[in-house]
A = this chain, B = another copy of it.
Amino acid sequence: MNIVIMAGGSGTRFWPMSRGRRPKQLLNIVGGKPMIWETYQRVKDLAPDERIILVIGQEHEEETQQLFDETGVRILVEPMGRNTAPCIGLAAQYVDYCGNEDPLIILPADHYIAHPDIFRQALSAAANLAAQGGIVTLGIVPTRPETGYGYIHRDKPVAPESNAYGVRGFVEKPQLAVAEEYLVSGEFYWNAGIFAATAGTLLREFSIHMPLFAQGLKRLSSSFDTSEFSSALAKLYEETEKISFDYAIMEETSQSVYVIPCQCGWSDVGSWYSLYEVRRGREQDEDENVKDGESLLLDCQGSFVVSRGGRWVAALGLRKVLVVDTEDALLVADLERSQEIKEVTAYLEAKELKELL
C-alpha cells in the first residue's frame, strides 16, 4: 500500500508551544519525537519508505526535510494550506504518476494511537478492502459522548473478513443529547479523517466533484519531479478553494463507502487537555499530574506542568491547572478550559504581537 501522511496544519491550539513556524505535528509533545515522526514510526512497517508520502506546508519544509533526512520517504510541499481535499487529490495524482495501483492510506500527522498494533491491523484491512474499489474510512469506536467530532453512521456489515460496514451517512458535530444516543446505539463511530482508496478511485471522485481541480492535477502530472513543479502547484492551489475531503468527496460520492471500526486508543490530541489525557494514561503520578521538563510539584492534583523554557518550575497546591513555560511566553490556565487558548492567540493577532504567534 501507499501511505499519505497529511501534515499541512498550522494550528495554534498548543500555544505557546505551537507557533506558526512550529505547528503541532512538529512538536515532541507525546513520546520523545515530533508527532509526524511518531506517526511515521507507527506505519512504516506497512510500506517501504518510497511509498510513504508526507504532504507538508512550505514553511515547515526545512525542518521536515531534516527530520526525515535519513529515510527514503517522499515529501510533497504545499505552497499554502487548502484543507484536506486538495491535499489528498495531490497525493493521489502523485501515486498515479508513479504508476502505482495499490491503495493509498491517508492519515493525519498529528494524532495519537495508544495501541499501534490494532491500528495497523485496521489499516491493512482498510487497504485490502479499498483495493477492490470504493472508499474505506476508519471508524473510531466512541468512548464518550463527544460533541467535538463528526460521526459516521454505519449500515449493514459487508466483507466480514475485514469487519467492515456500509455507511449510511456522515453527521456533523452533534448536540450532547444526540451524542449520548450515538454512544448507546453502537452504530456510530468518530470520523478520524483516516481513509483508504486507490488513486484511480480518488481521481475519479475528484473529476466528478471538483472537476476544475482534477483537470489541474492532470496537467500538473507532467511537472512532478521537475523544477517547474512548485510554481505549477502554486498556480493550481491559488485557484483552488479551501475544502475538506469529507465535505467535497465523502458526503457527495455515489461510490461505495465503507467503515472499519477501530478500538486503537485514538486521540486527535486537539487541545492541551486532550494531550493531558493521552499522557496521563502513559505517565501520570499518583495525583493524576503529568509533568514535562524540570519541575517540582507539591500537593498538586490533575495538573499538567510543561517546562520547556529552561526555567525551573515550582507548582504548589494546584488543582487541574495547566502550566506551559516556553522561552518567550508562559501560559497558565484552567486545564479543562484549554480549548479557549484561541482567545489568547486572537488577542496576540489583534495586538500584532507576531513574534509570539
Q: Mark A293-326, 1 if CB is under 8 A from B, else 0.
A: 0001010000001010101111111110101011
Contact between B311 and A337, CB atoms less than 8 A apart:
no
Pick the residue among B296, B298, B309, B338 that contacts A311 (CB under 8 A).
B309
A337: which of B296, B316, B330, B343 is its contact (CB, 8 Å)? Answer: B316
Further pairs besides A298-B340, A305-B332, A311-B330: 18, Cβ < 8 Å:
A296-B344, A296-B347, A298-B343, A309-B311, A311-B326, A311-B327, A312-B330, A313-B330, A315-B332, A315-B333, A316-B331, A316-B344, A317-B334, A317-B340, A318-B334, A321-B321, A321-B332, A325-B330
Question: Do residues B311 and A332 form an inter-chain contact, with CB atoms below 8 A?
Answer: no
Q: With A321-B332, A332-B321 given, is the CB distance from A341 to B312 under 8 Å?
A: no
Can you tell how many copies of this chain the complex includes?
2
Instruction: List 13 interface pairs A-B (beta carbons < 8 Å), by A numbering.
Output: A298-B340, A305-B332, A307-B330, A311-B326, A311-B327, A312-B328, A315-B331, A316-B337, A317-B334, A317-B340, A318-B334, A319-B334, A325-B325
User: Chain B contacts of A341 at CB under 8 A?
Assistant: 314, 316
CB <8 Å contact, A314 and B329: yes
- The CB with the most chain B CB atoms within 10 A, among A309, A314, A338, is that of A314
B312 touches A353 (CB 8 A): yes
Residue A86 at the chain B interface, CB threshold 8 Å: no
Cα separation A97 to B26 with both chains bound (whole Å): 71
Residues on B with C-beta less than 8 A from A334 are 316-319
Q: How large is the interface on A (under 10, 10 to 19, 20 to 34, 35 or more residues)?
A: 35 or more
Q: Quick check: is A356 within 8 A (CB to CB) of the other chain?
A: yes
Q: For residue A23, which residues in chain B have a CB less than 8 angstroms away from its CB?
A: none
In the bound complex, CA of A353 to CA of B295 (Å)? 13
Which residue in chain B gives the minimum CB-CB distance to A295?
Answer: B330
A108: interface (CB < 8 Å): no
Chain B residue at minimal CB-CB distance from A326: B311
B residues within 8 A CB of A261? none
